[in-house]
């Protein structure tokens, strides 16, 4: 299966079959978020820089304290607030694109046996 773009808006999603499954490229959505962040930075350089520094500091603490620490929860909350201020990280898929995405994922995710591989996943 060649690369496919079953969702072309509002943010494109590209699907590519890989040896172990499927690669779903949502970089168009991420690019939009980065542009929004750049615009916010242009309007309020100090505020955006302070927010990012705070997230980085909380992340450093979270890595040392563990996954259920106060720092982890606070970092995640701050990231959610930042994402919300940029328009959110949700990917909306409408109408026929829902069916196209599902069909593309199902087709791309079909497991095929590699040469020399036996049924049931056992190596030859």
Note whether 84 and 46 are same-domain residues.
Answer: yes
Predicted structure pTM score:
0.78
Note whether 61 and 76 are same-domain residues.
Answer: yes
Mean pLDDT value across the chain: 89
Helix 45-65 with 70-86: angle, nearest 10 deg: 150
Note whether 71 and 45 are same-domain residues.
Answer: yes
Q: How do residues 45-74 score in pLDDT, each as one tens digit?
A: 999 999 999 999 999 999 999 889 999 999
pLDDT at 95: 92
Mean pLDDT of 75-96: 95
Q: How do residues 12-29 score in pLDDT, each as one tens digit?
A: 999 999 888 899 999 999
Is there a contact between 49 and 41 (Cβ–Cβ < 8 Å)? Answer: yes
Q: Does some domain include residue 118?
A: no
């Amino acid at each position: 299966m060649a690369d496919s773009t079953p969702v072309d808006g509002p943010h494109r999603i590209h699907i590519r079959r890989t040896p172990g499954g499927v690669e779903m490229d949502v970089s168009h959505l991420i690019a939009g978020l980065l542009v929004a962040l750049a615009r916010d930075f242009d309007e309020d350089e100090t505020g955006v820089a302070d927010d990012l520094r705070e997230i980085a500091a909380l992340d450093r603490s979270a890595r040392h304290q563990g996954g259920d620490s106060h720092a982890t929860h606070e970092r995640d909350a701050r990231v959610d607030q930042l994402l919300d201020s940029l328009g959110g990280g949700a990917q909306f898929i409408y109408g026929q694109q829902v069916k196209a995405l599902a069909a593309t994922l199902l087709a791309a995710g079909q497991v095929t046996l590699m040469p020399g591989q036996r049924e049931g996943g056992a190596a030859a």
